Chains A and B, each alone.
Chain A
Amino acid sequence: MTVLLALVLVPLLFAALAFATASERWRPWLVPAGGAVHLALVALAVRGPTPPALGGWLAIDALSRLILPLLSVLFLICALYAPAYLRVRPERPNRVFCAGLLLFLGVMTLITESHHLGLMWVALELNTLASAPLLYFNHNPRSLEATWKYLMIGAVGIALALLGSFFLAYSALAAGLGTSLLFDDLVKQAPHLSREWLHGAFVLLFVGYGTKMGLAPMHTWKPDAYGEAPGLVGALLAGGLTTCAFLALLRFVQIASSAGETKFASELLVAAGLLSMALAGVFMARQRDFKRMLAYSSVEHMGILALGIGIGGLGTFGALLHVVNNALAKGVMFLSAGNIHRAFGSKTTDLVSGALRRVPISAALFLAGFFAVTGSPPFGPFVSEFTILRGAIESGSYGVAAAFLALLFVVFVGMGATVLAVVQGEPGGERSDFHDSPGTVLPIFALMGLVLLLGLWIPPELDALVRDAARFVAAAP
């Protein structure tokens, strides 16, 4: 059996194991165990020459070489947080939750490895299914409402992506080309695809996968879903799922630019990027629910990714680096926000204040994470956002660069007000017996350490990976 197949099957095996385990106490440890085995396999797959599997449907290329290790590391760290989190939630059975987390990992892996138009769509659809029980973990009316919106909007997005995939397939048929749906073949024949169908396909795929990514104006599921999901799930959605959807979108950007339609694609990307940042800025101002605030922050960062790719050149490099920084920094924010939520039994600033006194370590990490997420030095996102800015200036789009800077500032101010209200002052709200414990803060420290490291020094291996991926995406014929 090849490594690529094993990477998908191992998490599924662990999911089945978790489902079969009877002990509520020991089951959560299967999640990090599965994550660890997965990471070991990823190291193997990324390093060595890894042959494609299933007739080329599964393959590893420059993009997956960058994204797959990121997802695996993020998952493992979040998984290490799971046992401690589930111990403070003994009232909720965790069988479905643990199995769902591992299933989610398997499906995310499948998305990054798929090299077939249809298979990738199937994987994203399965991803929607796998994440629904995770969102509904709390089993109350509010989480049900969030799950319903998530499923309904996600299902429509995925349906439009299917229509877009059909359009893309038809663009080959209408031009009298072969019927291969492998990405390598599509990129090769891109210059000959029927233009009209290709345009339609790109717009539909952009709307469809953009919905999964949470780009404005298709972002409406995000505040509800991230607001009601446990912090752990928020971290995996904002760092993992959105990254997968972005990867899917990049595959079509690559096809469009190989077809000589770079301008068409980048105009769409830049517009959606700026709109996402602006909407996030508006809704973040005076946002009292700090988990919803994080959702809008995720909308903003998806906008930054789209903007970077749309600018192209150095912007593409910056955006791909930002994928890494965003995933790790979002992990810090969601996990520490989850701790604060547990400590106060509430997630609005009406009832939460003085977190620095009640859960000092979590609150300090939350504050540091805020500076990182908003692009302050010396953290990783500063470097990637600065690179995107340089890309915009180098390509001569001064207007875009100015708007980008202004929107970053608006978000910083809006988000800062809420974050400061949470951490400062006298502790209010109801008391709970939740305290900082090694199990709930060490994983956040690990993520924070990585975010800080990437701000100070980018390892040459990572630099090479990002460079290869950027060259791969931008490759024009």
Chain B
Amino acid sequence: VEALIDSVLVGVVLLNFMLLATSRLSALINVSALQGAVLGVLTVIVHGGLDARPLLLGAVAAGIKGFLIPGMLHRALRDAAIRREVEPLVGYVTSLLLGALATAGALAFAKSLPLAPEHAGSLLVPGSLATVMTGFLLLTTRRKAVTQVVGYLVLENGIFIMGLTLHAAMPLLVELGVLLDLLVGIFVIGIVINHIHREFSSLDVTRLDALRE
């Protein structure tokens, strides 16, 4: 099982790199959706059996991260008729290099943390930190509202992986945290994107620059 978990996590990290290198908005959304769906499967694998609680958490997470939010983002793209490129503030090669640095940093940092015996040697913690950093990179170096939402989702994915290490011991904390955060993603971001679209007829956050020093 541990080997399976690790290979899935390697897949998640590879998806991180794809997110950083993607130049088309719809592809970006699809990759983040795939990552979300993979995390749903990972929930069940980490638990190691087919119990109701992890199955439910995995299904709900995959449903929201893999289908619902990406669907909303795709609709926003279509309705707003915005340009299909990501238009990063930092080039793709630089993004990839920064992503690689962040991943290496996550590995090194996770090594210094003592793990509970059941997670010794697992990639869960470094995988989580690397994904959080990738989300952070996407958030800060991409200019469109849609890409910022994707960055936030990837950040959430990283936190979700961290939550998996705790789910067996403290299921309620993890479920509360993860599901509520997704709720924010859906309601607020969905609604605000809708309003931005109506007010500015564009989803480019660099247009949101009336307020600055």
Residues of A that sit less than 8 Å from B by CB? 117-118, 121-122, 125, 128-129, 132, 136, 140-142, 144-149, 151-152, 155-156, 158-159, 162-163, 165-167, 169-170, 173-174, 176, 179, 181, 194, 196-197, 200, 223-224, 227-228, 283
Closest residue on chain B to residue A224 by CB atoms: B211
Is chain B's binding surface mostly helix, strand, loop or mixed? helix
Give the Cβ gap from A438 to chain B, nearest Cβ, in Å: 34
Contact check, B211 vs A174: say whether CB atoms are below 8 A apart: no
Point out the residues of chain B lying under 8 angstroms from A152, CB to CB: 139, 148, 152
Closest residue on chain B to residue A132 by CB atoms: B188
Give the Cβ gap from B148 to chain A, nearest Cβ, in Å: 6
Contact check, B159 vs A149: say whether CB atoms are below 8 A apart: no
Q: State which of B57-65, B83-91, B175-183 sits at the interface with chain A.
A: B175-183
Closest residue on chain B to residue A151 by CB atoms: B188
Contact check, A196 vs B112: say whether CB atoms are below 8 A apart: yes
Residues of B that sit less than 8 Å from A by CB? 112-116, 132, 136, 139, 145, 148, 152, 155-156, 158-159, 162-163, 165-166, 169-170, 172-174, 176-177, 180-181, 184-185, 187-189, 192, 195-196, 199-200, 205, 208-211, 213
Closest residue on chain B to residue A195 by CB atoms: B114
Knowing A125-B180, A148-B145, A151-B189, say if A227 contacts B211 (CB, 8 Å): yes
Q: How far is the CA of A472 from the CA of B99 in the complex (A)?
A: 43
Contact check, A121 vs B177: say whether CB atoms are below 8 A apart: yes
Knowing A145-B208, A166-B163, say if A122 contacts B180 (CB, 8 Å): yes
Knowing A125-B181, A141-B210, say if A159 contacts B156 (CB, 8 Å): yes
- What are 11 inter-chain pairs, A to B, with CB distance below 8 A? A141-B210, A147-B192, A155-B189, A156-B136, A166-B174, A174-B114, A174-B115, A194-B114, A224-B211, A228-B211, A283-B213
Contact check, A117 vs B116: say whether CB atoms are below 8 A apart: no
The one of B112, B176, B185, B195 that contacts A118, using a Cβ cutoff of 8 Å:
B176
Give the Cβ gap from B207 to chain A, nearest Cβ, in Å: 9
Contact check, B199 vs A144: say whether CB atoms are below 8 A apart: yes
The one of B162, B184, B199 that contacts A141, using a Cβ cutoff of 8 Å:
B199
Q: How far is the CA of A158 from the CA of B158 in the complex (A)?
A: 14
Closest residue on chain A to residue B155 by CB atoms: A159
Q: How far is the CA of A163 from the CA of B211 in the complex (A)?
A: 30
Knowing A125-B180, A181-B170, say if A174 contacts B116 (CB, 8 Å): yes
Contact check, B196 vs A170: say whether CB atoms are below 8 A apart: no
Q: How far is the CA of A277 from the CA of B205 in the complex (A)?
A: 29
Point out the residues of chain B lying under 8 angstroms from A148, CB to CB: 145, 192, 196, 205, 208
Give the Cβ gap from B32 to chain A, nearest Cβ, in Å: 15
Q: How far is the CA of A141 from the CA of B199 in the complex (A)?
A: 6
Q: How far is the CA of A224 from the CA of B50 in the complex (A)?
A: 48
The one of B155, B170, B208 that contacts A149, using a Cβ cutoff of 8 Å:
B208
Contact check, A145 vs B181: say whether CB atoms are below 8 A apart: no
Knowing A165-B173, A174-B115, A181-B173, say if A128 contacts B184 (CB, 8 Å): yes
Contact check, A118 vs B159: say whether CB atoms are below 8 A apart: no
Contact check, A173 vs B196: say whether CB atoms are below 8 A apart: no
Q: How far is the CA of A446 from the CA of B119 in the complex (A)?
A: 58
Contact check, A155 vs B188: say whether CB atoms are below 8 A apart: yes
Knowing A118-B172, A159-B152, A165-B177, say if A170 contacts B159 (CB, 8 Å): no
Give the Cβ gap from B64 to chain A, nearest Cβ, in Å: 15
Closest residue on chain A to residue B185 by CB atoms: A155
Point out the residues of chain A lying under 8 angstroms from B132, CB to CB: 163
Point out the residues of chain A lying under 8 angstroms from B209, CB to CB: 145
Contact check, B189 vs A166: say whether CB atoms are below 8 A apart: no
Give the Cβ gap from A60 to chain B, nearest Cβ, in Å: 22
**Considering the complex of A and B, which 7 residue pairs feature the smallest CB-CB distances, nearest first?**
A145-B208, A118-B173, A224-B211, A166-B162, A141-B199, A162-B177, A179-B169
Closest residue on chain A to residue B148 by CB atoms: A152
Contact check, A163 vs B159: say whether CB atoms are below 8 A apart: yes
The one of B173, B185, B187, B188 that contacts A117, using a Cβ cutoff of 8 Å:
B173
18 additional contacts, CB 8 Å, given A176-B116, A223-B211? A121-B177, A125-B180, A125-B181, A140-B199, A142-B210, A144-B195, A148-B205, A148-B208, A151-B188, A155-B184, A155-B185, A156-B152, A158-B181, A163-B159, A165-B177, A167-B162, A173-B169, A194-B113
Point out the residues of chain B lying under 8 angstroms from A141, CB to CB: 199-200, 210
Closest residue on chain A to residue B139 by CB atoms: A156
Closest residue on chain A to residue B118 by CB atoms: A173
Q: How far is the CA of A155 from the CA of B145 in the complex (A)?
A: 14
Contact check, A118 vs B177: say whether CB atoms are below 8 A apart: yes
Q: How far is the CA of A128 from the CA of B200 in the complex (A)?
A: 24
Point out the residues of chain A lying under 8 angstroms from B185, CB to CB: 155
Q: How far is the CA of A159 from the CA of B180 in the complex (A)?
A: 11
Closest residue on chain B to residue A282 by CB atoms: B213
Give the Cβ gap from B159 to chain A, nearest Cβ, in Å: 5
Contact check, B211 vs A146: say whether CB atoms are below 8 A apart: yes
Give the Cβ gap from B137 to chain A, nearest Cβ, in Å: 12
Contact check, A125 vs B184: say whether CB atoms are below 8 A apart: yes
Q: How far is the CA of A224 from the CA of B205 in the complex (A)?
A: 14
Knowing A142-B210, A147-B192, A224-B211, say if A169 contacts B166 (CB, 8 Å): yes
Give the Cβ gap from A234 to chain B, nearest Cβ, in Å: 15
Give the Cβ gap from B89 to chain A, nearest Cβ, in Å: 15
Contact check, B166 vs A122: say whether CB atoms are below 8 A apart: no
Q: How far is the CA of A311 from the CA of B172 in the complex (A)?
A: 36
Point out the residues of chain A lying under 8 angstroms from B145, CB to CB: 148
Point out the residues of chain A lying under 8 angstroms from B163, CB to CB: 166
Point out the residues of chain A lying under 8 angstroms from B152, CB to CB: 152, 155-156, 159
Contact check, B196 vs A144: say whether CB atoms are below 8 A apart: yes
Knowing A151-B189, A159-B156, say if A166 contacts B166 (CB, 8 Å): yes
Give the Cβ gap from B153 to chain A, nearest Cβ, in Å: 10
Give the Cβ gap from B175 to chain A, nearest Cβ, in Å: 9
Knowing A148-B196, A156-B155, A179-B170, say if A129 contacts B210 (CB, 8 Å): no
Q: How far is the CA of A129 from the CA of B115 in the complex (A)?
A: 35
